[in-house]
Amino acid sequence: MGQAKQWFDVALAIADPVERSQAMSDLAFDAEQMARDGCRAEAIELFELLATLDRYDDLLLPAIESADQRLISLRGRSLPSLDEVVKELYRKFADLPERERLLAVAKTLVRDHGRRRPESWGVAAELVAAAEAIRPLAGKELRFRLRCRNSYSDRPNLPPHPARDRVALLRFTNPTDIPAYGDWDFQVFGAGIALRAEDMREVYAAYLENHRRYHINISTRSGRYAEAQRVTELHAMLSEACQAGRDVTLDGHDYVWSFSSDLMFEKQFESVQCPVCQREFGPEECRVLEWSFGEDLAASGGRRVVCPSDHTLYSCMEWNS
């Protein structure tokens, strides 16, 4: 085993995520140094290891991105075109049925290239459209399509997304009186949250699609029936607001707080106002942290969104044992 691999394994074994990311950044720095000192092969080996790190981990991204960049310059190669990347991924997922294959290519493409190459979101959107033509999208697939569209339309240097004049917002106040909050060891604040209305409209649409598929015959007296009725109303209200470019304010308890959890944890919100800092923050300024509470059969956990001063502005339980 080479020296680089040993250093990398030691860094990878660090349990604390912040310390681990620091160790990885140090390794990227060491590799820089090696490249400057003429140890090109060792530098490439180390950068190649860094490039294998988990790209979903925000803390590790600086090390990964510096490795990506340096690998290109050290190998004297240019970036493969997105077309080539897509073709290679398409070959890689040859075992999947066509529709799933297209979606897998799209997801992998933006996971590996989305941050550095914003145009990959546009390519992913086209792949998703091709998958959708085979069979309509549902659930997570709809949310992925939305991410592609948003990421694509957020980039001013790209051809504009079939445009809207104004993005309608859905505003709500993060509820502070959810019974489960009482157990948590952090305080949740009543932050003012703004989501893009069309994002929530898609979340409701995915819920209703699922409802139509699996629960259409339930009793009109059941709670799920009442919920679906209300979500239908909310969906209609948001559709109208999106068309008119008009903002909507809803009560956070009204199928908004829990329904928006994916958008919040994927940082797909417009802004959040911290009542303690008395400042508004964009998604790039906030962090998403995991939490858990209790033990064994009485444990629960989820994620939360915190401002730069660590005030919890949104939290939701995602599992319990």
Q: Is 307 in the site for Zn ion (CB under 5 A)?
A: yes
Instruction: Quickly tell me which residue has 């890689």 as its tokens.
Output: 92
Is residue 171 within 8 Å of residue 254, measured between CB atoms?
Answer: no
CA dist., res. 114 & res. 82, Å (int): 11
Q: Is 274 in the site for Zn ion (CB under 5 A)?
A: yes
Q: Which residues pair with 274 in a beta bridge?
A: 279
Q: Is 304 in the site for Zn ion (CB under 5 A)?
A: no
Q: Which stretch binds Zn ion (CB under 5 A): 37-45, 57-65, 192-200, 308-316?
A: 308-316
Nearer to Zn ion, 207 or 269 (CB): 269
Cα–Cα nearest to 44, from 55, 20, 28: 28
State in angstroms the smallest separation of the CB of 295 from Zn ion: 30
Which of 276, 287, 292, 320 is in the footprint of Zn ion by CB under 5 A? 276
Nearer to Zn ion, 206 or 274 (CB): 274
Distant-in-sequence, close-in-space partners of 299: CB < 8 Å, separation ≥ 6: 292, 293, 320, 321
Which of 70, 113, 147, 311 is in the footprint of Zn ion by CB under 5 A? 311
Report which residue type is found at 320.
N
Nearer to Zn ion, 256 or 274 (CB): 274
246-283 as b/e, with b when 16 or more CB fall inside 10 Å? eebebebeebbbebbbebbbebbbbbbbbbeeeeebeb
Record the tokens describing residue 62, joined without a space: 């600086």
Q: Is 289 in the site for Zn ion (CB under 5 A)?
A: no
Region for 38 from its dihedrals, namely left if φ exceeds 0, alpha if ψ lies in -120 to 50, beta otherwise: left
Backbone dihedral angles phi then psi of residue 141, each to the nearest 5 degrees: -65, -40
Q: x-or-dash pattern for Zn ion, window 122-151, by CB under 5 A?
A: ------------------------------
Which of 74, 129, 277, 288 is in the footprint of Zn ion by CB under 5 A? 277
State in angstroms the smallest separation of the CB of 311 from Zn ion: 4
Which of 3, 73, 258, 309 is in the footprint of Zn ion by CB under 5 A? 309
CA dist., res. 160 & res. 230, Å (int): 34
Q: Which stretch binds Zn ion (CB under 5 A): 47-55, 57-65, 154-162, 275-283?
A: 275-283
Nearer to Zn ion, 104 or 307 (CB): 307
Report which residue type is found at 249.
T
Q: Is 74 in the site for Zn ion (CB under 5 A)?
A: no
Q: Is 12 in the site for Zn ion (CB under 5 A)?
A: no
Nearer to Zn ion, 154 or 310 (CB): 310
DSSP states along 31-73: HHHHHHTT-HHHHHHHHHHHTTS-TT-GGGHHHHHHHHHHHHH
State in angstroms the smallest separation of the CB of 277 from Zn ion: 3
Report which residue type is found at 67.
A
Is residue 259 within 8 Å of residue 207, measured between CB atoms?
Answer: yes
State in angstroms the smallest separation of the CB of 267 from Zn ion: 16
Q: Is 193 in the site for Zn ion (CB under 5 A)?
A: no
State in angstroms the smallest separation of the CB of 284 from Zn ion: 15
Q: Which stretch binds Zn ion (CB under 5 A): 200-208, 211-219, 255-263, 307-315?
A: 307-315
Q: x-or-dash pattern for Zn ion, window 233-272, by CB under 5 A?
A: ----------------------------------------
Binding site for Zn ion (CB under 5 A): 274, 276-277, 307, 309, 311
